[in-house]
């Protein structure tokens, strides 16, 4: 059951765990304060939301994203030349997908990890290329009381060093391929975040550990940390915590990066997919 009454927008839940399809809004138009407030509440309540049958140009896409905060220019993944805040996620037919294909939380190696991303699809495969999301508030809730007590107050160290020096990442530096990376010292920095965070608006607790960037627990050795990180990462993406978005051309999807992990499926090699992505800057996590 939904905690909130929605009067300005339609809300249809995707699964028992999370996710919703929002209807009754045209994101190309300026949203009223009341419409925007309900969309934001739905994002925080369901973790990931999508809107069908939208038509956005770059300015409209960015204007919608700016309602949530300032826009990120990714320090490593190149944005478009004329719109550095927009990443063109283009996968040509005949190539395997490589961007975001394993479960992760975006940019947890930042001091202030991203609030969330807004994707707009132009070309989608006839089948495949869905995006999966997993609810990290539910993942926290479903831990035993004993493990919750252990995790309380624990801090994890996050770094992008491994993720951005993997063989597949190295190939993309300075390439003129569909998605290219540039070198940045940020990959060598380590940052600390609580293992259990509180949502800055709702106050709900969520597990905040992901296999791309969480390296070890503060005060623990890497060897001691690894089994528990692995356990929490596996637990965090249990099928009963998930929803799955099937793309249509002209769809907008957004997730709250503090409370969900996501993964893009790599199961449509024969087909082209073109999605534009804008990410909203977040705040330090508590
Ligand atoms: C991502 O932003 O991590 C990839 C999402 C997608 O391509 O579905």
Is the residue at 3 inside a domain?
no
Return the ligand 1 atom nearest residue 87 CA. Answer: 2
Is the residue at 19 inside a domain?
yes
Which residue is catalytic, options 61, 258, 273, 277?
277
Is the residue at 226 inside a domain?
yes
Cβ of 179 below 6 Å from ligand 1 = no
pLDDT of residue 2: 64
Active site residue 104: yes
d(CA 231, CA 137) in angstroms, rounded, equals 16
Q: Whose CA is nearest to atom 5 of ligand 1?
A: 264
Which residue is catalytic, options 61, 106, 256, 273?
106
Tokens 């049958």 correspond to 53
Which residue is catalytic, options 61, 74, 104, 193?
104
d(CA 213, CA 187) in angstroms, rounded, equals 10
pLDDT of residue 165: 86
Q: Whose CA is nearest to atom 1 of ligand 1?
A: 100
d(CA 120, CA 122) in angstroms, rounded, equals 7
d(CA 281, CA 71) in angstroms, rounded, equals 6
pLDDT of residue 41: 98
Cβ of 264 below 6 Å from ligand 1 = yes
pLDDT of residue 279: 98
Active site residue 215: no
Token couple for 252: 């907008």
Return the ligand 1 atom nearest residue 130 CA. Answer: 8
d(CA 220, CA 43) in angstroms, rounded, equals 35
Active site residue 234: no
Is the residue at 2 inside a domain?
no
Residues of the chain with pLDDT under 70: 1-3
C-alpha 160 – ligand 1 centre gap (Å): 17
pLDDT of residue 164: 86
Is the residue at 4 inside a domain?
no
Is the residue at 174 inside a domain?
yes
pLDDT of residue 180: 84
Best of 76, 87, 131 for a ligand 1 pocket test (most atoms within 8 Å of beta carbon)? 131
**Domains in the chain: how many in total?**
1
Q: Whose CA is nearest to atom 3 of ligand 1?
A: 100
CATH number at residue 68: 3.60.130.10
Domain region containing 264: 10-280
Q: What strand order describes the sheet that includes 131-135?
A: 242-245, 131-135, 260-264
Is the residue at 30 inside a domain?
yes
| Full 3-state SS string of the chain | CCCCCCCCCEEEECCCCCCEEEECCCCCCCCCHHHHHHHHHHHHHHCEEEECCCCCCHHHHHHHHHCCCCECCCCCECCCCCCCCEEEEEECCCCCCCCCCCCECCCCCCCCCCCEEEEEEEECCCCCCCEEEEEHHHHHHCCCHHHHHHHCCCEEEECCCCHHHCHHHHHHECCCCCCCECCCHHHHCCEEEECEEECCCCCCEEECCCCCCEEEECCCCHHHHHHHHHHHHHHHCCHHHEEEECCCCCCEEEEECCCEEEEECCCCCCCCEEEEEEEECCCCCC
Which residue is catalytic, options 61, 74, 258, 262?
262
The DSSP secondary structure of 223-255, one letter per residue, reads HHHHHHHHHHHHHHT-GGGEEEE---TT-EEEE
Q: Whose CA is nearest to atom 6 of ligand 1?
A: 264
Active site residue 13: no
Is the residue at 5 inside a domain?
no
pLDDT of residue 171: 79
Best of 277, 278, 279, 280 for a ligand 1 pocket test (most atoms within 8 Å of beta carbon)? 277
């Amino acid at each position: 059951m939904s905690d909130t009454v929605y009067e300005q927008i339609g809300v249809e839940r995707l699964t028992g765990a999370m996710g919703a399809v929002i209807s009754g809004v045209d994101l190309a138009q300026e949203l009223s304060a009341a419409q925007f407030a309900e969309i934001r509440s739905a994002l925080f309540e369901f973790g990931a939301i999508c809107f069908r049958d939208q038509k956005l140009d770059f300015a409209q896409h960015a204007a919608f994203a700016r309602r949530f905060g300032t826009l990120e220019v990714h320090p490593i993944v190149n944005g478009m030349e004329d719109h550095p805040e927009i990443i063109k996620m283009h996968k040509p037919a005949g190539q395997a997908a490589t961007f975001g294909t394993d479960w992760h939380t975006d940019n947890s190696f930042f001091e202030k990890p991203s609030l969330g991303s807004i994707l707009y699809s132009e070309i989608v495969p006839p089948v495949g290329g869905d995006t999966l999301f997993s609810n990290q508030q539910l993942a926290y809730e479903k831990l035993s009381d004993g493990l919750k007590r252990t995790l309380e107050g624990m801090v994890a160290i996050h770094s992008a060093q491994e993720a951005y020096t993997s063989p597949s990442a190295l190939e993309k530096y300075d390439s003129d391929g569909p998605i290219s990376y540039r070198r940045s010292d940020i990959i060598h920095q380590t940052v600390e975040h609580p293992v259990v965070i509180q949502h800055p608006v709702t106050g709900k607790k969520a597990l905040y550990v992901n296999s791309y960037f969480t390296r070890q627990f503060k005060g623990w050795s890497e060897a001691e940390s690894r089994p528990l990180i692995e356990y929490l990462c596996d637990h965090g993406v249990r099928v009963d915590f998930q929803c799955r978005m099937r793309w249509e051309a002209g769809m907008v999807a957004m997730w709250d990066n503090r409370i969900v992990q996501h993964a893009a499926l790599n199961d449509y090699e024969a087909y082209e997919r073109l999605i534009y992505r804008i990410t909203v800057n977040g705040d330090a996590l508590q």
